[in-house]
């Protein structure tokens, strides 16, 4: 009886050690980059035409840019990991108002925190991630027309500081779908949507929400 109990004890310890080894926690990092498609979801009240763009009709068409970033993953289990990512972005969009166009270009950076689940499939892993991010516009220009990031709409009389039509910082939520090959190469589609209105005007029914979709190829080390 003692031998049988000892055998069960040894088997239990062996199983526990194997399971713990399989579910070990570790850190990895990598790089990912590729083209993006960015634009704005916007509605501008016609009464703001003189303040904002000197016209009545405004919508946005997406244009292509580039993204390149680093990520750091903390693997909690084999299936779940937490990712901190930082991405440099070149984004473009075309604003249309009546018969005029304004082609916008911005250089910026994303800082995000994403929870990932990965599922084994055909020798690799399917990836699904979701989490918040912040975007910072470091430089903006309009190749033609008006740069809304530098369109002055208000000057603080106390400080003399200018307030521009659109904010340089916004927060949002991201959704990532991808596949990681056995050799640690990965492909993914990353969608990011702003949840904070970047239009610095408090008129009801008037808003601007940025978004972008990035098609990335990367490698984990």
The average confidence (pLDDT) of the chain is 84
CA distance 128 to 93: 28
- Residue 4 inside a domain? The answer is no
Region of residue 24 (left: phi > 0; alpha: psi -120 to 50; beta: else):
beta
pTM score, two decimals?
A: 0.83
Q: Is residue 176 part of a domain?
A: yes
pLDDT digits 0-9 by tens, 119-160: 999 999 999 999 999 999 999 998 777 788 887 877 878 888
Q: Which of 116, 123, 21 is nearest to 73 (CA)?
A: 116
Whether 70 is in a domain gets the answer yes
The domain containing residue 186 runs over which residues? 25-220
CA 109 to chain centre: 9
Over range 181-187, report the average pLDDT. Answer: 93
Model confidence at 35, pLDDT cuts 50, 70, 90, reads very high
pLDDT tens-digit series, residues 106-119: 999 999 999 999 99
Q: Is 89's pLDDT higher than 90?
A: yes
Structural domains of the chain, count: 1
Query: Could you tell me the pLDDT band of residue 14, with boundaries at 50, 70 and 90?
Result: very low
Q: Is the pLDDT of residue 10 over 50?
A: no
Domain holding 160: CATH number? 2.40.160.20
Please check whether residue 6 lies inside any domain of the structure: no
In a domain, 71, yes or no: yes
In contact, 38 and 91? CB cutoff 8 Å: yes
């Amino acid at each position: 009886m003692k031998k049988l109990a000892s055998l069960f004890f040894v088997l239990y310890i062996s199983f526990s050690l194997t399971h713990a080894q399989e579910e070990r926690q570790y850190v990895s990092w990598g790089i990912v980059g590729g083209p993006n498609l960015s634009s704005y979801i916007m509605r501008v009240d016609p009464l703001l035409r003189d303040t904002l763009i000197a016209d009545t009709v405004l919508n946005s068409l997406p244009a292509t840019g580039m993204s390149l970033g680093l990520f750091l993953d903390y693997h909690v289990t084999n299936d779940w990991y937490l990712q901190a990512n930082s991405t440099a972005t070149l984004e473009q969009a075309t604003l249309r108002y009546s018969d005029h166009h304004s082609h916008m270009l911005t250089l910026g950076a994303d800082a995000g925190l994403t929870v990932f689940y990965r599922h084994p499939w055909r020798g690799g892993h399917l990836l699904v991630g979701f989490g918040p991010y912040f975007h910072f516009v470091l430089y903006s220009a309009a190749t033609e027309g008006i740069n809304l990031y530098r369109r002055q709409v208000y000057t603080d009389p106390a400080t003399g500081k200018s307030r521009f039509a659109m904010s340089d910082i916004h927060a949002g939520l991201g959704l990532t779908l991808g596949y990681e090959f056995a050799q640690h190469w990965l492909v993914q589609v990353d969608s990011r949507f702003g949840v904070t209105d970047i239009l610095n005007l408090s008129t009801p029914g008037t808003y601007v929400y940025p978004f972008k979709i990035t098609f990335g190829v990367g490698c984990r080390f």
